[in-house]
Structure 1
């Protein structure tokens, strides 16, 4: 390429390709960078005509001017642009899983609704209308009937936190998300779980599945109370067979995993309280010992996936043998077992509820249940304070025993 720069000083220069064809390159200038003291500019080449190069230069320098205006008038930022900056610049310590959830919330439930509003023009009245719309939009929500009250509050809390940052930075005078009310929405607050008999039927059928991993996988949920990500994030080093302890030290971040590239992403558990040591039930220990011997029998060792020696890997699927189970595989397996045994339909996370209810029925205190589940807030565990039929019977039995003892004492 042979350049033949003009002396016009307009930042547009002709040059010739090796084949002799004429092209133009252009430089768009944006003043001096305050950090480096050097000229800030943008360069592009390959234009077929001088007019095309000049047009690009004019548009680009116009964009620079708009950016400079917004830089000095940040309240003119659009909400979508501000939220992107807030997430990337002001939330650097978010855990990977939390950051992905924030990103998805912003992309799915904020930008499509209010993303194009200018910060300074967004007010509490507009925010109230937005909150109302999330609860009645027929295109979102599990049943296409709007988001649940809990989900709407999470979206609101994210936006309010971002606006609080804008107030602290002097971009906004006040937080327009403050002062809104949440419409009442009828919700199903019923706690779903299996009875003891239903749990045993389910686990027995899990033994009969094509891949032997399903039985210990579901045991970690029903007998240990693990979250799905914690279950599939378990490694063999987390199991202390001598002390009968299961160490919860990580979770899989399914939203960050790419199935096509066979990537597996792990992160610290949900909260500090989620890092915990759990005594194993006897059948949990025996199931893991049996499964461990089975895996070694197939591979001759306990396989690694990169740096991770995940416990639960596929052994019954020819094209995926040796690969760790993915999060989306558990739901179909659970539904398949439930349907085959005509059991009540519950979700995977309800297996964790089942674990907590069994503990409650066994007389374990709510504080201890919260610690075993890895809850940070005691209020979260309060959902298990309700009285099941088994607890009612036990309470009445205790009352009956007490009354008999008092009657006997009065006779004597």
Structure 2
């Protein structure tokens, strides 16, 4: 049921037409009407009819008229934020939305009108401007999650991302720094250690070098994670944003589970590393005694001087100073993990063993060390010559 068109006057004196449609009833049984306005009677009637058709088709027309940017903002802050996801995950979602959707051309499109082609073109443009395949893949995951929600809630009839082709991404371990492998020579490592003195960074460096663990995994370790000369890797720590609203947030250290099952692993400790950890224990005991009751005992293997988790930014600064003092060109802390893997390969360790020690989800990820693997393969095939007798 709808009322007859009615002429109304705007504040500027222009006339427009208004029609109403019955769209439902409230909890008391009272009629709920929705107004539609147009510059002519036919315009107003068309708006009303389009709205009623969308309702009949199962769409929510009040939402489908929103842009992707508007609709995703509402979903992110009013729905997803309170869905029980980890704060680190929400921080990642918010960053992806802010950098790739909020002010983008794709974000301006009306949700209900988005098809595969404009999304595919947007992905391609990101690649063309230098974004990595992993970045596009993470954007796609978030968009797909939103469109699944939108489909369920009646924003759209069908998820437009179904069947969309993504750029190939053969690298499963994003932390391996886009396949750029930086390593240290033995001489460089010894020079760093000799110049650093008896400070906590010394033991963190040695632990990374002799176990291949990631920085976040090392800083999350507790003393109880080491047993029978084996260290169990089952968590990581990082600083995340805890949002109160879009503009208000605070940082907090969060311990989380590793991103993949394969990251949960056991790594044996070398004899030298075990001795170094004994020296570390004495250093930590001195710090604890010095601070007294103000010390926070978290049973961490590598605590800050107050007993809390070491901030990654502070560690990076100390690491860079250590390289500068030793006269070594700056490389990322992650280069210690690459050095660990490279030395194992150079000493004949199989790719499967190295893959498991690093916590890679497959040996394909470990193949970033091809510069070492190719040399090893060339040497190993020489054993085939022994099949033939001398003189042949």
TM-score band, normalised by shorter chain: 0.5 to 0.7
| Equivalent residues of 1:256, 1:265 under 8 A apart | no
Which residue of the other structure, out of 147, 167, 183, is the alignment partner of 1:193? 183
Change (3 A) 1:115 1:395: closer
Residues of 2 paired with 1:402 and 1:106: CA distance?
56
- Per the alignment, residue 202 of structure 2 pairs with 215
- Per the alignment, residue 69 of structure 2 pairs with 80
Task: Describe the superposition over 1:49-98 as per-residue Cα deviations: whole angstroms up to 9, x where unpaired.
Answer: xxxxxxxxxxxxxxxxxxxx995544234323443565574694654433
Question: Within the alignment, does 1:112 sit opposite 2:103 as a pair?
Answer: yes
Which residue of the other structure, out of 291, 308, 322, is the alignment partner of 2:298? 308
TM-score w.r.t. the length of structure 1 is 0.65
- Per the alignment, residue 59 of structure 1 pairs with none
Change (3 A) 1:273 1:395: closer
Quote how far apart the aligned CAs of 1:330 are.
2.3
Residues of 1 paired with 2:266 and 2:380: CA distance?
33
Quote how far apart the aligned CAs of 1:262 are.
8.4
Which residue of the other structure, out of 125, 140, 146, is the alignment partner of 1:162? 146
- Per the alignment, residue 151 of structure 1 pairs with 135
Determine helix, strand or coil for the equivalent of 1:367: helix
Residues of 1 paired with 2:125 and 2:133: CA distance?
12
- Per the alignment, residue 123 of structure 1 pairs with 115
Aligned counterparts, 1:4-19, within 5 A: none
| Equivalent residues of 1:229, 1:251 under 8 A apart | yes
Task: Describe the superposition over 1:166-221 as per-residue Cα deviations: whole angstroms up to 9, x where unpaired.
Answer: 345553344444546759xxx9854222234333333443x33xx71101111222
Task: Describe the superposition over 1:345-403 as per-residue Cα deviations: whole angstroms up to 9, x where unpaired.
Answer: 3212232222222222222222222221222244322223x1429x72x6555555654
Which runs of 5 or more structure 1 residues have no equivalent in the other structure? 1-30, 40-68, 138-145, 316-320
Residues of 1 paired with 2:158 and 2:266: CA distance?
45
Residues of 1 paired with 2:160 and 2:341: CA distance?
40
Across the aligned residues of Structure 1 and Structure 2, the Cα RMSD in angstroms comes to: 4.0
Which residue of the other structure, out of 334, 341, 355, is the alignment partner of 2:326? 341
Quote how far apart the aligned CAs of 1:296 are.
1.2
Task: Describe the superposition over 1:200-257 as per-residue Cα deviations: whole angstroms up to 9, x where unpaired.
Answer: 333443x33xx711011112222111111111111122222xx111122321131247
Determine helix, strand or coil for the equivalent of 1:277: strand
After TM superposition, the structure 1 stretch with the greater mean CA deviation from structure 2, 280-289 or 118-127, is 118-127
- Relative contact order: is structure 1 or structure 2 higher (C-alpha 8 Å, sep ≥ 6)? 2
Residues of 2 paired with 1:406 and 1:304: CA distance?
73
| Equivalent residues of 2:123, 2:136 under 8 A apart | yes
- Per the alignment, residue 225 of structure 1 pairs with 212
Change (3 A) 1:283 1:89: farther
Determine helix, strand or coil for the equivalent of 1:255: strand
How many residues get paired?
325
Which residue of the other structure, out of 257, 269, 290, is the alignment partner of 2:258? 269
Determine helix, strand or coil for the equivalent of 1:192: coil
- Per the alignment, residue 368 of structure 1 pairs with 353
- Per the alignment, residue 359 of structure 1 pairs with 344
Change (3 A) 1:375 1:388: closer
Change (3 A) 1:189 1:380: closer
TM-score w.r.t. the length of structure 2 is 0.68
Residues of 1 paired with 2:315 and 2:260: CA distance?
23
Change (3 A) 1:230 1:85: farther
| Equivalent residues of 2:64, 2:155 under 8 A apart | yes
